[in-house]
């Protein structure tokens, strides 16, 4: 974080600075956790599900915190800033630091692909200058301001991922981020419990455009989405650019060829010219991710060559459809990071493009609300339609998928049994076998991948 004074912080968060000494101290970071706080940090007390941060003021003092942000008075020798709500103060401070550093800023939301697109955009922009990007999954009302607080003066670009599990959350974070360009990668059945319906998801995601400036901000719209017209309707006063992997748009792909490794090559067509692209990530859905990344990056100053070089060399993102060669003939498609209907179908598309026997290993897709079983059945039907040979499931909901798959569908109640069944088929190796392993975070399907990798 850029160094700032306590009095500046107090002003930004509409707080009252209470200090025993007149000297205005400088802070070099903000921490919400005394377990990881650094001596030059300001400690901001949050009320969480397990603890009240105000109870850790003594620990913050002992670890050398410079000052505090509190929402109620606590006995302390440190200077503190009193605010009505510390979560709001965190947001205001993140926004103020962002405004002070003033990097060119990209905002990303969507049901699937936010992290992948963020990594693509960051890879492209790193050819132009210093980039700050969201880390891990810090994409909610706390994670977004914490990310903005990591900005340093030398950052020329900020690439910010925004997620949500309730209406209004992205409007809030986007207004802190104030992106120069923003997009909704896609909308699919995910987090339905929080949004009620697929349209509810599309509506919640559209809040990202509220943070754009009307005159200069650019909204990038997925022309392949069923919600394209809906989003366009909300963008009457903004600059808009569309992207598509299947038809002409402002930014689009031509001549897509999927290689043997599942990675695509294609011609990227943009308003400023065209260039040949060779992707380092597999799957047709990553063509779509690459197109939106190109549009976002070009708007904040990348060249076509930056786009090409960034997309060619970027490393895979762990747990997102990572193709691992287990033996000469057996491949694992590790897509265990998370799952919703859209991302499972995208992964099935890739699996279906491989030669040999194709096995889908599915764990539960979480947070789908009342229609959860229906969505699992849909996935089972889609796998059948795409010529997948076997569907093995683990978890209560996913059984609906193996049930509709009929003959070659099988449900397991224990991981060990499933792994044994898979191992029987892969040994002795007779032909190519590709195994896609996928499920929601809570399904922890990475344990299946680990067990397969560790099998003798």
Residues that bind ligand ATP (CB under 6 A): 110, 112-116, 137, 163, 185-186, 285, 288-289, 320-321, 335, 337-338, 342-343, 346-347
Question: φ, ψ for residue 260 (rounded to 5)?
Answer: -65, -30
315: DSSP letter: P
Cβ distance to ligand UDP smaller for residue 49 or 273:
49
Chosen from ligand ATP, Mg ion, ligand UDP, none, partner binding at 335 (C-beta under 5 to 8 Å by type): ligand ATP
**CB 338 to ligand ATP: min, Å:** 4
Cβ distance to Mg ion smaller for residue 114 or 384:
114
Cβ distance to Mg ion smaller for residue 114 or 203:
114
Q: Are 307 and 277 in contact (CB under 8 A)?
A: yes
The closest residue (CB) to ligand ATP is 113
Chosen from Mg ion, ligand UDP, ligand ATP, none, partner binding at 289 (C-beta under 5 to 8 Å by type): ligand ATP
Positions that interact with Mg ion (CB under 5 A):
114-115
Cβ distance to ligand UDP smaller for residue 33 or 250:
33
As beta bridge partners, residue 270 has: 273
* Residues ≥6 apart with Cβ < 8 Å to 399: 376, 393, 411
Positions that interact with ligand UDP (CB under 6 A):
32-35, 46, 48-51, 53, 56
Chosen from ligand UDP, Mg ion, ligand ATP, none, partner binding at 224 (C-beta under 5 to 8 Å by type): none
**CB 37 to ligand UDP: min, Å:** 7
Cα 159 from Cα 105, distance rounded (Å): 6
| Matching residue, tokens 């002992």 | 62
Cβ distance to ligand ATP smaller for residue 68 or 284:
284
Chosen from ligand ATP, ligand UDP, Mg ion, none, partner binding at 343 (C-beta under 5 to 8 Å by type): ligand ATP
**CB 68 to ligand UDP: min, Å:** 11
Chosen from ligand ATP, ligand UDP, Mg ion, none, partner binding at 186 (C-beta under 5 to 8 Å by type): ligand ATP
Cα 380 from Cα 409, distance rounded (Å): 9
Retrieve residue 233's tokens.
């309707």
**CB 170 to Mg ion: min, Å:** 13
Cβ distance to ligand UDP smaller for residue 49 or 428:
49
Question: φ, ψ for residue 172 (rounded to 5)?
Answer: -65, -50
Cα 249 from Cα 347, distance rounded (Å): 25
* Residues ≥6 apart with Cβ < 8 Å to 444: 336, 363
| Matching residue, tokens 């697929």 | 198
Chosen from ligand ATP, ligand UDP, Mg ion, none, partner binding at 110 (C-beta under 5 to 8 Å by type): ligand ATP
Cα 34 from Cα 65, distance rounded (Å): 9
Chosen from ligand UDP, Mg ion, ligand ATP, none, partner binding at 321 (C-beta under 5 to 8 Å by type): ligand ATP
Query: 221-243 as b/e, with b when 16 or more CB fall inside 10 Å?
Result: bbbbbebbeebeebbeebbebbb
- List Cα–Cα distances, 362 to 7, 142, 399, in angstroms: 54, 32, 9
Cβ distance to Mg ion smaller for residue 141 or 306:
141
Strands 218-222 vs 67-70: parallel, antiparallel or unpaired: unpaired
Classify 267 in phi/psi space as left (phi over 0), alpha (psi -120 to 50) or beta: beta
Retrieve residue 386's tokens.
């795409």
Chosen from ligand ATP, ligand UDP, Mg ion, none, partner binding at 46 (C-beta under 5 to 8 Å by type): ligand UDP
Q: How many CB atoms lie within 10 A of CB 99?
A: 12
Chosen from ligand UDP, ligand ATP, Mg ion, none, partner binding at 176 (C-beta under 5 to 8 Å by type): none
Cα 90 from Cα 68, distance rounded (Å): 12
Instruction: Give the up-direction half-sphere exposure of residue 186: CA atoms within 13 A in the CB hemisphere.
Output: 24
**CB 185 to ligand ATP: min, Å:** 6
The closest residue (CB) to ligand UDP is 48
Three-class DSSP labels, 241-261: EEEECCCCCCEEEEEEEECCC
**CB 23 to ligand ATP: min, Å:** 43
Cβ distance to ligand UDP smaller for residue 43 or 231:
43
Cβ distance to Mg ion smaller for residue 115 or 186:
115
**CB 340 to Mg ion: min, Å:** 12
Chosen from ligand UDP, ligand ATP, Mg ion, none, partner binding at 233 (C-beta under 5 to 8 Å by type): none
Question: Count of residues for the chain?
Answer: 456
Cβ distance to ligand UDP smaller for residue 36 or 255:
36
């Amino acid at each position: 974080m850029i160094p700032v004074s306590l009095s500046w912080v107090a002003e930004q968060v509409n707080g009252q600075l209470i200090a025993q000494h007149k000297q205005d101290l400088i802070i070099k970071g903000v921490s919400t956790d005394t377990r990881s706080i650094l001596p030059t940090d300001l400690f901001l007390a949050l009320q969480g599900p397990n603890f009240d941060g105000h109870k850790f003021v003594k620990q913050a003092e002992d670890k050398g915190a410079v000052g505090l942000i509190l929402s109620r008075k606590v006995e302390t020798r440190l200077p503190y800033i009193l605010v009505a709500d510390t979560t709001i103060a965190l947001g205001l401070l993140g926004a103020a630091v962002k405004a002070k550093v003033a990097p060119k800023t990209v905002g990303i939301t969507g049901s699937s692909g936010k992290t992948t697109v963020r990594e693509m955009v960051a890879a492209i922009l790193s050819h132009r200058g210093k980039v700050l990007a969201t880390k891990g999954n810090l994409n909610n009302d706390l994670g977004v301001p914490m990310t903005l607080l990591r900005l340093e003066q030398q950052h020329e670009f900020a690439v910010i991922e925004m997620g949500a599990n309730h209406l209004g959350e992205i409007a809030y974070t986007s207004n802190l981020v104030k992106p120069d360009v923003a997009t909704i990668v896609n909308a699919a059945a995910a987090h339905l419990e929080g949004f009620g319906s697929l349209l509810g998801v599309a509506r919640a995601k559209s809040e990202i455009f509220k943070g754009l400036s009307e005159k200069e901000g650019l909204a990038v719209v997925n022309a392949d989405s069923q919600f394209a017209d809906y989003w366009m309707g909300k963008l009457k006063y903004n600059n808009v650019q569309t992207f598509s992997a299947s038809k002409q748009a402002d930014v689009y792909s031509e001549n897509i060829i999927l290689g043997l490794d599942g990675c695509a090559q294609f011609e990227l067509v943009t308003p400023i010219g065209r260039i040949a692209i060779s992707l380092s990530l597999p799957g047709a859905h990553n063509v779509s991710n690459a197109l939106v990344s190109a549009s976002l990056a070009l708007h904040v100053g990348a060249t076509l060559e930056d786009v090409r070089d960034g997309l060619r060399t970027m490393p895979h993102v762990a747990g997102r459809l990572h193709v691992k060669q287990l033996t000469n003939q057996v491949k694992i498609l590790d897509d265990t990071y998370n799952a919703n209907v859209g991302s499972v179908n995208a992964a099935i598309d890739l699996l279906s493009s491989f030669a040999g026997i194709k096995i889908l290993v599915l764990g539960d897709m979480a947070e789908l609300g009342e229609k959860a079983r229906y969505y699992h059945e849909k996935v089972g039907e889609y796998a059948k339609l795409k010529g997948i040979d076997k569907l093995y499931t683990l978890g209560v909901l996913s059984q609906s998928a193996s049930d509709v798959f009929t003959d070659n569908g099988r449900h397991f109640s224990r991981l060990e049994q499933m792994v044994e069944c898979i191992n029987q088929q892969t040994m002795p190796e007779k032909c190519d076998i590709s195994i896609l392993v996928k499920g929601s975070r809570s399904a922890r399907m990475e344990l299946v991948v680990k067990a397969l990798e560790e099998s003798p």
